[in-house]
């Protein structure tokens, strides 16, 4: 089983180091490689990442994006590099945030999973709330809901209040999601979308025509993957025997930044117009 992990970095070298350590310490990680794509455009940050790569340069590589390409933009760059370097796709390609720590048995469990699902979501435990962030969406949202989001998020003051209250609700009233019964040889095919912080792509996703060419800079990647799978008639599986922890930055706080609000506005407009018009 060959696995290529794409870790997209933006001034998070400390998190990247912890993530890489968790991968290298995991069982059955012999055929797992990591490609770190740096969106930071900062020499000092790239030096930190290069130091991480030097731990095991055969397994860990660093690529400078040259500009901030966003999450899936950087992932597509990495995918192109993987294909060019290897000539064929590995068994799995994983896209990950830097602030992820994988379970020690993650690759052992992945090896046992008899899944034909092109896209797999693991159990993602929030380090901030303890909540399981998957499945992200069980059912496809309605056109009305997505168009409503487009207008809500398009008005910055309303967007700010919405994000603040949403963050407050999560901080105060987060509860673990109940897992659906599943074992390593079955899929729980109940998800329309899975959380974007850590997504596992089977080779079959790419052979069917899937890619990471998302038309918005940041946010909404879950919708893009879900709609790509619907278009290609592919299934998305939530498999909770696979476990990772999503540290999430407490420093982000409850007050969203203006730049973040604009990214949310742009992505909600793109998704609504592209998939729910």
Sheet holding 92-96, edge to edge: 60-64, 32-38, 3-9, 92-96, 198-202, 119-126, 236-246, 100-102
Is the residue at 105 inside a domain?
Answer: no
pLDDT-derived band of residue 183, with 50, 70 and 90 as boundaries? very low
- Mark whether 165 and 79 lie in a shared domain: no
Is the residue at 246 inside a domain?
Answer: yes
How many Å apart are CA 220 and CA 7, to the nearest integer?
A: 18
CATH number at residue 27: 3.90.550.10
- Mark whether 39 and 87 lie in a shared domain: yes
State the pLDDT at residue 249.
Answer: 65
| Residue 170 domain boundaries | 113-277
The per-residue pLDDT for range 97-124, each reduced to its tens digit, is: 999 999 999 999 999 987 678 999 999 9
The percentage of the chain sitting over the pLDDT mark of 70, rounded to a whole number, equals 88
Of 105, 154, 97, 107, nearest to 127 by C-alpha is 97
pLDDT-derived band of residue 257, with 50, 70 and 90 as boundaries? confident
Phi, psi dihedral angles at 99 (to 5 degrees)? -90, 45
Is the residue at 106 inside a domain?
Answer: no
- Mark whether 62 and 131 lie in a shared domain: no
Report the C-alpha dihedral over residues 153, 154, 156, 158, rounded to 10 degrees: -50
The structural domain count of the chain equals 2
- Mark whether 53 and 150 lie in a shared domain: no
Say if residue 168's pLDDT is above 70: no
- Mark whether 131 and 94 lie in a shared domain: no
pLDDT-derived band of residue 182, with 50, 70 and 90 as boundaries? very low
Q: Kindly report the length of the chain.
A: 277
* Average pLDDT value for the chain: 89
The per-residue pLDDT for range 32-81, each reduced to its tens digit, is: 999 999 999 999 999 999 999 999 999 999 999 999 999 999 999 999 99
State the pLDDT at residue 129.
Answer: 86
Instruction: Dig out the tokens for 31 from the structure.
Output: 């055929």
- Mark whether 257 and 160 lie in a shared domain: yes
The mean pLDDT value for 161-173 works out to: 64
State the pLDDT at residue 187.
Answer: 47
pLDDT-derived band of residue 252, with 50, 70 and 90 as boundaries? very low
The per-residue pLDDT for range 11-32, each reduced to its tens digit, is: 999 999 999 999 999 999 999 9
CA torsion sign for 247, 251, 253, 258 is: negative
**Which of 78, 100, 122 is the last residue in one of the domains?**
100
Say if residue 172's pLDDT is above 80: no
pTM score, two decimals?
Answer: 0.91
> Residue 37: beta bridge partners?
8, 63
State the pLDDT at residue 188.
Answer: 62
- Mark whether 172 and 75 lie in a shared domain: no
């Amino acid at each position: 089983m060959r696995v290529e992990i794409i870790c997209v970095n933006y001034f998070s070298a400390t998190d990247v180091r912890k993530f890489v350590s968790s991968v290298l310490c995991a069982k059955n990680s012999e055929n797992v490689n990591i490609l770190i794509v740096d969106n930071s455009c900062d020499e000092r940050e790239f030096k930190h990442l290069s130091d991480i790569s030097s731990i095991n340069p055969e397994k860990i590589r660093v690529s400078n994006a040259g500009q901030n390409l966003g999450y899936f933009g950087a992932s597509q760059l990495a995918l192109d590099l993987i294909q060019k370097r290897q000539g064929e796709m590995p068994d799995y390609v994983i896209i990950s945030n830097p602030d992820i720590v994988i379970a020690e048995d993650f690759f052992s469990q992945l090896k046992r999973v008899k899944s034909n699902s092109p896209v797999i979501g693991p159990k993602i435990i929030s380090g901030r709330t303890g909540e399981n962030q998957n499945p992200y969406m069980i059912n496809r949202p309605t056109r009305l809901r997505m168009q409503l989001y487009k207008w809500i998020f398009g008005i910055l003051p309303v967007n700010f209040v919405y994000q603040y209250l949403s963050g407050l609700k999560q901080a105060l009233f987060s509860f673990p999601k109940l897992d659906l019964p599943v074992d390593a040889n079955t899929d729980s095919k109940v998800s329309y979308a899975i959380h974007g912080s850590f997504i596992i792509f089977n080779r079959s996703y790419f052979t069917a025509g899937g890619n990471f060419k998302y038309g918005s800079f940041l946010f909404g990647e879950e919708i893009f993957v879900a709609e790509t799978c619907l278009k290609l008639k592919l299934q998305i599986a939530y498999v909770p025997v696979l476990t990772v922890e999503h540290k999430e930055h407490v420093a982000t706080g409850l007050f969203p930044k203006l730049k973040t609000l604009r990214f949310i506005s742009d992505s909600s407009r793109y998704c609504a117009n592209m998939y729910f018009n």
